[in-house]
A and B are shown apart, each in its own frame.
Chain A
Amino acid sequence: MPTYRELLQQVRTEISEVDAPRARELVDAGEPVIVDVREQDEWDEGHIPGAVHIPRGHLESRIERTAPDPSRPVLVYCSAGNRSAFAAKTLEELGYEDVVSLEGGFTDWKRNGFPVELQAGLEASQRARYSRHLLIPEVGEQGQLKLLDSRVMLVGAGGLGSPASLYLAAAGVGRIGIVDADVVDESNLQRQIVHSTERLGEPKVESAKRTIEALNPDVQVVTYQERLTSENVERILADGWDVIVDGADNFPTRYLVNDASVWHDIPVVHGSIYRFEGQVTVFKPGAGPCYRCLFPTPPPPELAPSCAEGGVLGVLPGVIGSLQANEALKLALGIGEPLVGRLLLFDALSAEFNEVKLRRDPDCPVCGEHPTITDYIDYVEFCAGTRETA
């Protein structure tokens, strides 16, 4: 029986090898499929730009997906050129016609000062934490890195913001902003699950931050203990947000969020709840209608009771806020069909979902063809019902 060394010698006589400068020429010419057969931790520390990572143990099962055409040249490498020699032999046995192994491996490549790509890959603990995401082809490592790099701002840390923030944090959204001026009140705890009894009297943004950080240390929480207004909205948006999750409890904030999002081109995941019923939609500037297309003016205050006045079933914001998290994750990942131009209605009593179509209003004063509102207005006054009728 041959020793490892003898076997390696034997295999090296049966395959083709190239040195680092020659490999560089091949890479620069863009000819070969470059396959890195090292382990994950080695790959994470840097690799040849454009390479595909297939650990040696998965080579046979995964190579076809990466290189379906067996006539296309393949450059395979490891750290020193030994594992890749065996890999090259295997690839030839699988029918690949033009396979070369990098002699001296990635170590020699680096020693020559050739370019190295350092990808911010997932750490081992993240690989474990997000393993159920990594298993989904639509998410995977690239998707998870996208989530870790994404920034979602929540307006309100109440009924809707509670489940939304928890699921976004658990999913690994890298930065979560929370805008809320209130403190935790006993009457919140029937539904606002991001808070707890021991946090009574604490600012909601601080309470939410503590819960989120305990759930997932990967998440950076940015708190704004203030009510969103025309005066502070630009400062808060300047921190850079990819998606806004609107869980506000009043019309002035809803219209303010809408106008700001249109002018800043940020999609808003809108949710609202009352008693047993909730609504969810996505207002994506340019792609669909905005809130003003749906409701050009708010109802007079006496005709629009809030949850504080009319009540809400505790689990309802759990359903609607989770749907908002779902939409926000889809937007951050760029997958699926977000609720753009569609309003989803949920009735908890009948356990029914209904959907209605929303269309852009070409005469919309904010997102229409000839906008008449181009700067922040006095939203409180706008919603106070200054119309003579009603």
Chain B
Amino acid sequence: MTKVRIPPTLREQTGGERELAAEGDTVRDLLDDLMGRFPALQEQLVEDGDLAPFVNVYVEGEDVRTLDGLETEVRPGSTVILLPAMAGGT
């Protein structure tokens, strides 16, 4: 089980939780687990079967796009952060 940080812009889709536990050995597994439970996350995270270009996923501080993408392995206890773009400044 891995803890996934949910950014404030995605909390409406996850019942307000700031952190969710998810099952899986890869980023894809984790996201599938989360999207299974919170279907509204789907359009926020996925585009054409891949990670949407406006959202980044970090495992241990590294962008998974620079690792193995959705196939990047995660271990129990890994820190996973979902980060969609946000523009607010005022």
Contact = CB atoms under 8 A, between A and B. Distances in A.
Contacts of B66: 359
Contact of A390 (B47, B63, B87): B47
Contact of B54 (A158, A298, A358): A298
A145 to B, nearest CB: 31
A305 B90 CA distance: 13
The secondary structure that dominates the B interface is mixed
Nearest to A349: B18
A192 B90 contact: yes
A125 interface: no
Contacts of A79: none
B22 interface: no
Interface string A95-107: 0000000000000
Contact of A274 (B9, B44, B79): B9
B62 A357 contact: yes
A303 B8 CA distance: 12
B53 interface: yes
Given A158-B89, A246-B89, A304-B85, A295 B63 contact: no
Contact of A358 (B9, B63, B84, B87): B63
Range of interface residues on chain B? 20 to 34
A159 B87 CA distance: 12
Interface centre among A254, A271, A295 (most CB of B within 10 A): A295
B87 A248 contact: yes
B10 to A, nearest CB: 9
Given A299-B55, A389-B47, A390-B47, A304 B84 contact: yes
Interface in A228-256: 246-251, 253-254
B77 interface: no
Range of interface residues on chain A? 35 or more
Given A277-B7, A297-B54, A390-B43, A354 B81 contact: yes
B84 A356 contact: no
Contacts of A158: 89-90
A183 interface: no
Contacts of B85: 251, 294-295, 298-299, 304
A343 B54 CA distance: 16
B87 to A, nearest CB: 5
A297 B90 contact: no
Contact of A250 (B62, B63, B79, B87): B87
Contacts of B8: 274-277, 310
A305 B8 CA distance: 10
Contacts of B48: 389
Contacts of A161: 89-90
Nearest to A343: B83
A188 B89 CA distance: 12
B61 interface: yes
A304 B53 contact: no
A156 B86 CA distance: 16
Interface centre among B8, B18, B61, B62 (most CB of A within 10 A): B8
A355 interface: yes
B60 to A, nearest CB: 9
Nearest to A191: B90
A356 B85 CA distance: 14
Interface string A64-80: 00000000000000000
Contacts of B84: 299, 303-304
A251 B9 CA distance: 15
Interface centre among A192, A275, A299, A307 (most CB of B within 10 A): A299
Interface in B50-77: 52-56, 58, 61-63, 66
Contact of A247 (B43, B61, B90): B90
Interface string A316-348: 010000000000000000000000000101010
11 contacts: A159-B89, A159-B90, A249-B87, A254-B87, A272-B88, A272-B89, A276-B8, A295-B56, A299-B44, A299-B54, A387-B47
